[in-house]
Amino acid sequence: MQIINTVCDLREVIKAWKAAGETVAFVPTMGNLHAGHLQLVTRAKESADRVVVSIFVNPTQFGVGEDFGAYPRTELEDQEKLLTEGADLLFLPSVADIYEPDVNTIITVADLSESYCGAFRPGHFSGVATVVCKLFNIVQPDVALFGLKDFQQLTIIKIMVRDLNIPIEIIGVDTVREPSGLAMSSRNGYLTEDEKRDASALYYILGVARDAILAGNQSLADIEKKAMLSLQQVGFQPDYFAVCRASDLKKATIEDVDLVLLVAAKLGKTRLIDNITFSK
């Protein structure tokens, strides 16, 4: 596995691969890799001839008071995991490699970037869209893979690629979960043992809401209210619980068939997100 730090060196490698007729899959990450990330790499190997993984803790998607400085950085362990998983190249840029000191260009997917997580983390999704677009321009992949756990992020990236005519196929990969049902996340490491046990209720409450919708004897608004109350009873501080159309994350109506349930809630100092998609 090659490890490259600069944009120029990376572009030379990609140019040689493409000249040889090879396709490229890309997995952008912020490191502290777990089984969910490694599943993305496995799927990437099935999708293209070469696999590039980036590790870059992007400062522009962290707000004031968030955990940019404390975000877990485990580069040596990550390198070993990627080598074992069979990635071809690890891109490890610095902030100076990605952002000019006087950068003025920001990409924002209007409306959706301000709802759900965007309402509680102002500017977050502009930071995500901007860095992903920059990485796409640097790597020039044929396909890029993202986890379905960050469903709003995935939807925003799909819209950005469509609207900017970026010739990349975006593949969403199923969430990898702990045996308890808790979605794997780098931020799970912030949880105490007791909190980690309680955090498994997040997925359970999603399942209860899904089953209530499929039963069809409660309004969607009532189901959302009951889910928020259930989260509070477990000890969560919920930001939102929303029943949405899976296609565009607009508020669902009783006529909609393909749905996603979105939830974000704090447990102690840790903010967790999760979702379930299903069809009626």
Q: Which of 13, 37, 143, 230 is catalytic?
A: 37
Q: What percent of the chain is modeled with pLDDT above 70?
A: 100
pLDDT of 87 reads 98
Q: Same domain for 128 and 87? A: yes
**Residue 268: CB atoms within 10 Å:** 15
Q: What percent of the chain is modeled with pLDDT above 90?
A: 96
Q: Same domain for 26 and 142? A: yes
DSSP string, 58-100: -GGG--TTSSTTTS---HHHHHHHHHHHT-SEEE---HHHH--
Q: What is the DSSP letter of 183?
A: B
Whether 255 shows a pLDDT value over 90: the answer reads yes
Annotation says 124 is catalytic? no
- Please count the structural domains in the chain: 2
Residue in the block written with tokens 């100092």? 269
Q: Same domain for 253 and 201? A: yes
Note whether 272 and 185 are within 8 A (CB).
yes
- Structural domain span for residue 93: 2-173
Whether 70 shows a pLDDT value over 90: the answer reads no
pTM for the full predicted model: 0.95
Average pLDDT, the chain: 96
Whether 274 shows a pLDDT value over 90: the answer reads yes
Whether 217 shows a pLDDT value over 90: the answer reads no
Q: Same domain for 124 and 251? A: no
pLDDT in tens, 10-35: 999 999 999 999 999 999 999 999 99
Tokens of 74: 């485990």
Whether 56 shows a pLDDT value over 90: the answer reads yes
Q: Same domain for 201 and 166? A: no
Whether 67 shows a pLDDT value over 90: the answer reads no
Whether 137 shows a pLDDT value over 90: the answer reads yes
Query: Longest C-alpha distance within the chain, in Å?
Result: 59
| 179 within a domain of the structure (yes/no) | no
Q: Which of 117, 152, 173 is the last residue of a domain?
A: 173
Q: What is the CATH number of the domain that holds 214?
A: 3.30.1300.10
Buried b (16+ CB within 10 A) or exposed e, 36-49: bbbbbbbbbbebbe
Whether 124 shows a pLDDT value over 90: the answer reads yes
Q: What is the bridge-based pairing of β-strands 169-173 and 143-147?
A: parallel
| 11 within a domain of the structure (yes/no) | yes
Q: Same domain for 22 and 125? A: yes
